């Protein structure tokens, strides 16, 4: 995110939304059109929504499948936000880099979003337009005594006909989900306590901001 927002000269003057996907996210054919619509509707339909998402925060949930948009917990599958939100995120670099949890999204939920002063929602559709692909990803470790995790790359997730085309309606109301965070005092799942990791994280946050204290 540091490189995309602050390091690429091609978008230095771009303030709109950017969609972030990870190596184990499978995008449906309507993903681009839907995220464009959600990003455009966010300001008027859901002022409390900081981002737009292509899927529910619960990666196993396919969506409500109702005629309404959904304000949900910010998820990590196909998420888009603008430069204003990036600046808010970047301003908490020290807290983010110092939290002892190897999951970046949990670190955001625990030490960044709560500081924004209200419930942090993301706007999404009632059906997912992306999904977590397989069970491995690059973040899954290998259990001792068991063979390495392996996904058959040819087994792509099935896509229903309705998810192959734009399937949102700008006239739909917004339904607000209950957002459950982490209990105050949660210390993280660990894996991010080494000072070298934390310092490298801070170096990334400051490498495009020479002379600016993070």
The enclosing H or E element of 131 equals strand 130-132
Helix extents (H) in 110-207:
195-206
Quick count: other Cβ atoms within 10 Å of Cβ 186? 14
Tokens of 162: 């309705």
Tell whether 151 is in a known binding site.
Answer: no
Q: Rounded to whole angstroms, how far apart are CA atoms 179 and 165?
A: 29
CB 104 within 8 A of CB 1: no
Alpha carbon 53 to chain centroid, angstroms: 7
DSSP letter at 19 equals E
Q: Is 17 part of any known ligand binding site?
A: no
Q: Which residues are annotated as a binding site?
A: 24, 132
Q: Which residues are annotated as a binding site for Mn(2+)?
A: 24, 132
């Amino acid at each position: 995110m540091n490189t995309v927002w602050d390091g690429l000269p091609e978008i230095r003057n771009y303030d709109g939304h950017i969609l972030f996907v990870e190596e184990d996210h499978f995008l449906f054919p309507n993903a681009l059109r839907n995220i464009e619509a959600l990003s455009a509707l966010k300001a008027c339909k859901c002022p409390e929504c900081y981002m737009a998402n292509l899927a529910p925060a619960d990666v196993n949930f396919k969506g409500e499948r109702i005629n309404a948009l959904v304000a949900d917990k910010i998820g990590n599958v196909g998420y888009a936000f603008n430069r204003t939100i990036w600046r808010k995120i970047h301003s908490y670099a020290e807290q983010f880099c110092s939290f002892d949890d190897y999951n970046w999204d949990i670190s955001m939920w625990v030490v960044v979003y709560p500081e924004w002063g209200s419930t942090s929602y993301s706007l999404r559709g009632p059906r997912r337009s992306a999904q977590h692909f397989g069970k491995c990803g690059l973040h899954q470790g290998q259990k001792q005594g068991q063979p390495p995790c392996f996904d058959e790359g040819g087994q792509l997730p099935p896509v229903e006909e309705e998810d192959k085309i734009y399937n949102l309606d700008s006239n739909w109301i917004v339904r607000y989900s209950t957002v459950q965070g982490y209990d105050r005092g949660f210390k993280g799942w660990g894996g991010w306590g080494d000072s070298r990791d934390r310092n490298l994280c801070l170096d990334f946050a400051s490498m495009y901001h020479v002379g600016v204290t993070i």
